[in-house]
Amino acid sequence: MKYSNESEISIRQMQCFLAVAEQSSFSRAALQLNMGQSTLSKCVSMLERTLGLKLFRRELRPISLTPAGEVLYQRWSSLVEDYAASLDAAFERNHESTHRLVVGLVDSINTLHFMPMLRKRMLEAYPGLELRFEYTSFNNWRSKLRTGEIDMVLTILFETQTLEPDYTQAQVSSCDKNVCMLPSNPLAQKQAIRFEDLQQQRFLIISPDESPAYYDYVRKLCLSHGFEPQVARFVGNTHGLFSALQSDDEVIICDRYFRDYNNPLITKFPLPDVRSGLVGVWKKNNPNRYIDSFVQFLRETDGI
């Protein structure tokens, strides 16, 4: 018959039972558990009544397990051991996480010019903090946040426009959103660029497999100015975006945080009334107390 009162059995009762079984004595088990012998005896008796099973042959000296007791001893030994190990692991992880901050950096973003200074400020403010930076990509930083591999991510503003409600975001910097082209593009001779100038241009787009949000962003931006963007081709990742410029009618929408942005062979113009910037993103239920400080230090860092 299947036992149906599992919820009435406590880990403490299991521990008491196992101690008596291992010591073959209530008195020695009581000393091991640092509890009174009568209290231990009542605990084991209550367990037997709850189960409706006799677990010990008390008439023998030393006492020994019944066949039912033998079965439970074999099964519960590993169960209680796993329980204790799980608690140890949980407290160890909690201790680690309270003194650690793991920041994901989208690998297409140029952060090398300010990250060493930021690290220095954080470690000066919080001695003993384990601060780690891990590179990620546009297409997998959300999964890393969900699984807790990283505490927060630093990405570009357009990536957060369709952010799920269980995330928090904080913009840490602001900059122009630019259109980039080859110097041989006729538009490169202008003093400034308007959106009307881009209607006959063909856009290089980051592959949706790499960044689903990028094409949607560029398309919505163009549609808001009355035209559908013509796509020249999709580029596998942002690292190849500038080198993929080949024709005089091709353009790229980006900002100064994209790697290779300072390529001297590229002509750039700010887009009118369009801003970009860096954004920190983290899960709302993340208790890491260093996130707010990291965001504040980011905002205060010169040259970001």
Are 99-173+280-300 and 175-276 the same fold in CATH? yes
Does the structure show a pLDDT above 70 at 1?
A: no
Predicted confidence (pLDDT) at residue 83 exceeds the cutoff of 90 = no
pLDDT at 97 over 60: no
Tell whether domain 6-89 is in CATH 1.10.1660.10: no
12: Cβ contacts below 8 Å, ≥ 6 apart: 43
How many DSSP H helices and E strands does the chain contain? Answer: 8, 12
Q: What is the DSSP letter of 158?
A: G
Q: Is the pLDDT reported for residue 92 higher than 80?
A: no
Per-residue model confidence as pLDDT tens digits over 184-217: 999 999 999 999 999 999 999 999 888 889 999 9
Look at residue 84 in the predicted model and tell me its pLDDT.
Answer: 83
Task: Summarize the confidence of residues 274-285 as an average pLDDT.
Answer: 95
Examine residue 212 and say whether the peptide bond preceding it is cis (omega within 30 degrees of 0).
no
Query: What's domain 175-276's superfamily in CATH?
Result: Periplasmic binding protein-like II (3.40.190.10)
Q: What angle do CA 96, 129, 102 make, to 5 degrees?
A: 70
CB atoms within 10 A of CB 61: 8
C-alpha closest to that of 21 among 76, 86, 59: 76
Please give the angle made by the CA atoms of 270, 275 and 276, to the nearest 5 degrees: 105
Q: What's the CATH fold of domain 99-173+280-300?
A: D-Maltodextrin-Binding Protein; domain 2 (3.40.190)
Helical (H) or strand (E) element with 222 = helix 212-223
Contacts with 206 (C-beta within 8 Å, 6 or more apart), sequence order: 138, 214, 215, 234, 235, 237, 238, 241
Dump strand ranges (E) for 245-303.
250-254, 267-276, 278-283
Q: What is the mean pLDDT of the chain?
A: 90
At 282, is the pLDDT very low, low, confident or very high (cuts 50, 70, 90)? Answer: very high
CA distance 116 to 105: 13
Q: Taking 50 as the threshold, does the pLDDT of residue 154 lie above it?
A: yes
Instruction: Kindly indicate the confidence band of residue 149, based on its pLDDT and cuts at 50, 70 and 90.
Output: very high
Residue 254: closest CA among 232, 239, 264:
239
Residue 298 has pLDDT above 90, yes or no: yes
Is the pLDDT reported for residue 145 higher than 90? yes
Least confident residue range of 2-11, 173-182, 208-217, 282-291: 2-11
Domains in the chain: boundaries:
6-89, 99-173+280-300, 175-276
Give the model's confidence band at 303: pLDDT under 50 very low, under 70 low, under 90 confident, else very high: confident
